[in-house]
Structure 1
Amino acid sequence: MQILSPRHVKTDEALRLGVESGWYAIKVSGTFVSGPHDSEGECRRKIDEIHPPPAKKKR
């Protein structure tokens, strides 16, 4: 399973990378998986949609 995290790409970096500025879900390697998203919350929701958190085990 991949670990994804939210990352904000500002305008100057976005121009350098050739992408739009905004929030992106990225792999540990730095590869963009999803985005741009308007907010960190929206990005985190997408990350949870791609890789839902593990279900809690019942005892």
Structure 2
Amino acid sequence: MQNLSPRHVTTEESARLGVISGWYSTKVSGTFVTGPHDTEADCLRKIAEIDPPPPPPKKKKR
């Protein structure tokens, strides 16, 4: 599990970072993993695809 989060890079910031402006999934360290995405929703969908939530715990049979 990578614990990715969405991050918006503005036009001004994109020039400094050398990337295209848009939404990116990032690691806790700030490293870009995917992107740019057009919307935050698109970015969140990609995060869910790459890093799905853990399955619920299974109930123990008695």
Residue deviations 1:9-35, cap 9 Å, x none? 000000000000000000000000000
**Alignment length, in residue pairs?**
59
Give me the CA root mean square deviation. Answer: 0.9
Matched, 1:39 2:47: no
Q: Provide Cα deviations, 1:27-57, integer angstroms capped at 9, x if missing partner.
A: 0000000000000000000000001111123
| Larger strand proportion of the pair | 1
Match in the other structure for 2:9: 9
User: Partners in 2 of 1:13 and 1:28 — Cα distance?
Assistant: 19
Cα distance in 1 between the residues matched to 2:46 and 2:9 = 17
Question: Can you give the 5+ residue segments of structure 1 that lack an aligned partner in the other structure?
Answer: none
Q: Distance in 1 between matches of 2:57 and 2:2?
A: 21
Deviation at 1:58, TM superposition (A): 4.4
Unaligned stretches of 5+ in structure 2? Answer: none
> What letter matches 2:30 in structure 1?
G
